[in-house]
Amino acid sequence: MKPNPRLTADLHQVRQSIANGLIHPAEPLEQALEACEQPSCRHAYVLGAQAELRQAIAGGQGSATQLPLAGLPVSVKDLFDVAGQPTRAGSVVLQGPAATMDCPAVARVRAAGGLIAGRTNMTEFAFSGVGINPHHGTPVNPADRSTPRIPGGSSSGAAVSVALGAAWLALGSDTGGSLRIPAALCGLVGFKSTARLVPTEGAVPLSTTLDTVGAITGSVRDAVLAHEVLAQRRVHASGKTLAGARLALARTWMLDDMQAPVAAAFERSLRTLSAAGARIEEIDLGPIADLAQINAGGGFSAAESYAWHRPLLAQGADQYDPRVAKRILRGAQMTAADYLDLLSARKRWIASMEQQLQGYDAVISPTVPMVAPPIAPLEHDDEAFFRVNALLLRNTSVVNMLDGCAISLPCHAPDELPVGLMLWHGALHDDRVLELAGQVEAALAGR
């Protein structure tokens, strides 16, 4: 498929083109439908809603074009309730009835003029950063047409839907990196807001403490728009420029084990940002090293997912992806005292981290230390799978534990496999992180 060059833009540009009469409102819908039908989009969706798009094409967009999402297609991760559809969370064990109403996040997308393009595939129950699904197939990363590579997870189909033009933005979730990891590996933008800003009701939980609802988009400007829709709040810019911004470069963990393509792209980006006037200061950020001990018992995801999954496991544990069931069952070994200790340890850890981050506009890190590895070696080799999964989650999960906000944006050259650069900070620094991300995106594009 050769995309219409007038439509290879971000959502904001398409919305403006529709408003100015440069393109017909049906054109982006037709492009999305065409993309959905391509072989490369196989496994990206577990349930399509092409009928909704075709109905909109036939009936006209009406007033939707005046709304923030302008009647454009939005994909929805199979984690969220959509009225009239079952929610399976990438599994085969969930066999409940169809949802009777949209969850708040989906309702907000619809109210903003978004059309539901379909339900996207995901890691079963969102419990992996790799994106492999043994039940529904694994979406292939569009960044490499010669070698099937992982898309990243758990919002795997979400990222692929945007990368292929089968949706203009993708609704997803992030508990340890599930928006930012696939965004980084597929060359997109993934924003994890401060968790409390977007409601999680009506979404199958992984960790009620860490779960965050957000979106994968094609640009920072679209990430801002998506966040404003989902959080029902305006993002306010400070007016500060990139020149003079203080960016902390965390040495502890974040820079370890980088593959050569990631190190090259990241170091090149640091030089570009320094030349633009950003003040990049290396710091140890020692508390990060304490996370291994804090989460030694399995962390919040194991404890809280086990509490939710106990009835399902009792009825049909053999229907789970064994790799997912293994991690959920770690929660069975945690006592109430262990869980309370974990809550206390996190509170102290956040206080220590926030103290060290005072005075910085954001922290800058590689989103993940690797480019997307091939799928085949990970499908049947548990040791390789868990090694890759741990590396993919290592940097991103720090921000979830911090109750912070973070954005991943591409920093690779056009002829390279995608590499993500992550800007992050503590809770409620969302507006400054988004503002900086837009400036970083512009600086990297101009280099």
Supply the residues annotated as catalytic: 77, 154, 178
**Encoding tokens for residue 418?**
């995608």
- CA 51 from chain center: how many Å? 26
Task: List C-alpha distances in Å: 382 to 326, 377, 379, 389, 437.
Answer: 11, 10, 8, 10, 36
Phi-psi group of 389: left, alpha or beta (phi > 0 → left; psi -120 to 50 → alpha; rest → beta): alpha
- Segments of 54-98 assigned E as strands: 73-77
Rounded CA gap, 74 and 428, in Å? 26
**Encoding tokens for residue 245?**
């911004």
Cβ(405)–Cβ(425) below 8 Å? yes
Which residues, 6 or more positions from 139, have their beta carbon under 8 angstroms from its beta carbon? Answer: 42, 43, 44, 121, 131, 151, 156, 157, 159, 160
The 3-state DSSP composition of the chain as helix, strand, coil percent (nearest 5) reads 45, 15, 40
End-to-end distance of the chain based on CA atoms, in angstroms?
30
